[in-house]
Amino acid sequence: MKINAKFDSGAIIVNEIVENADKQLAKLNIAYDAPHAGKPYLQWFHFRAYELDTAKNCLFHIENAGSTTYPEGWINYNVCASYDRKNWFRIKSTYDKNDGLKWEIQPKFSSIFFAYYPPYSQETYLDFISECQMTPSNRCRLDALPGETLDGNTLDVLLVGNPPPLSLNSSNDNNNKKKLKFWVIARQHPGETQASWWMEGFIRRLLDSSDAIANVLLSNIDFYIVPNMNPDGSQRGYLRVNAAGKNLNREWDKSTEDKSPEVFYCQKAIKQTGIDFLLDVHSEEELEYVFLSKTPLGIPSITDKQVELYHKYCSALMQSNPEFQTEFGYKMPEQGKSNLGVCCAWAAETYGCLAMTQEQPFKDNCIFPEPNQEWSIARCEKLGASVLDAMYSVMDDLKVYRGKM
């Protein structure tokens, strides 16, 4: 057996490989995110095991799982595996805080990939956004935020609904002013790859000219979609930070070009376009639910209208997709005490808009458990698609109360 992680989003430390007569054993450690800067995070893994003996069982042991950032995330967790990097399945795993995370398989083939969650590679990402811009009827333009990441990556933006390019000053465009401005972003935390699969479901439905809800939305809304806010962290195999070791979803009240350019340039673009609605897509390591964070409800300037529309959106999403629920999730923050470094809180406080954070699990959704697939790529995509119905439910209210919330 050999182990390798020298590829896009790969991350693992090999402690020892033991070859026995009846079994192959890999003793591993999860690697730190950007240990050179700030608080290091420890959770994401993605690696390939190869030169496997298909006649033997292979045991994989992540020895430091009990010391990771979210150790309770391993409870009820089963590892993701794939032979072809396209079709992913779960392998029963066991966790003990003193003995780490273990799983065992007799492989069908001599090479197999494992990951914390099915990865979303840079190649897959580039293929998808390139496909989007080729949508018939010019529904989508591929643009970019006004700057690059620390690793020199482009911060791509999909403009849907025919807004002008970000490089143009649209402040005098009266037709453009009439339309609502919706911003949807994902992958601030790069290891939360569910957000990219969610984006595929959301964007594909939004670009479907046969979908009546999508057509109505695009007649009234300009969408600014950032499918990957943290391409550096995504490629480096980090869970929560960028190349400078910054947790982007704590930088919105203090962003800088040299430490958190991803947030800095996104804020610059939002200031240019204006904003009526923001959705930031994430994943949750420990909780086995689909939910919205209540963070924006605790901002200092919260209004009754923001609260009303938040709950209206939640009700519509529950009707559209029963995977979503409101009973379980993060605690309600104290009034006026929300962290304005968090994207949704910053947007709601700064612009008085409706802003939310979507969370989905790494494990299964215990409301509707699916033991054979758990929280899968397909379920991420369906959740993303169902959000259009919730957006439709608040669209008219946002038009009426624009700038008055």
Hey, which bits of 30-163 come out as E strands? 46-50, 57-62, 79-82, 89-91, 93-96, 100-105, 112-115, 140-148, 154-160
Annotation says 359 is catalytic: yes
Q: Which of 251, 359, 374, 381 is catalytic?
A: 359
The amino acid occupying position 208 is: D
Six-digit token pair at 366?
A: 């215990």
Encode 345-382: b = buried (16+ Cβ within 10 Å), e = exposed: bbbbbbbbbbbbbbbbbbbbbeeeeeeeebbbbebbbb
> Are 230 and 321 a contacting pair, CB within 8 Å?
no
Alpha-carbon distances, residue 65 vs 56, 58, 77, 151, 250 (angstroms): 25, 19, 12, 29, 25
What is the spatial distance between Cα 362 and Cα 371, in angstroms, rounded to a whole number?
13
**Cα 290-293-260 angle, rounded to 5 deg:** 115
| DSSP three-state, residue 73 | helix
Hey, which residues are catalytic here? Answer: 359
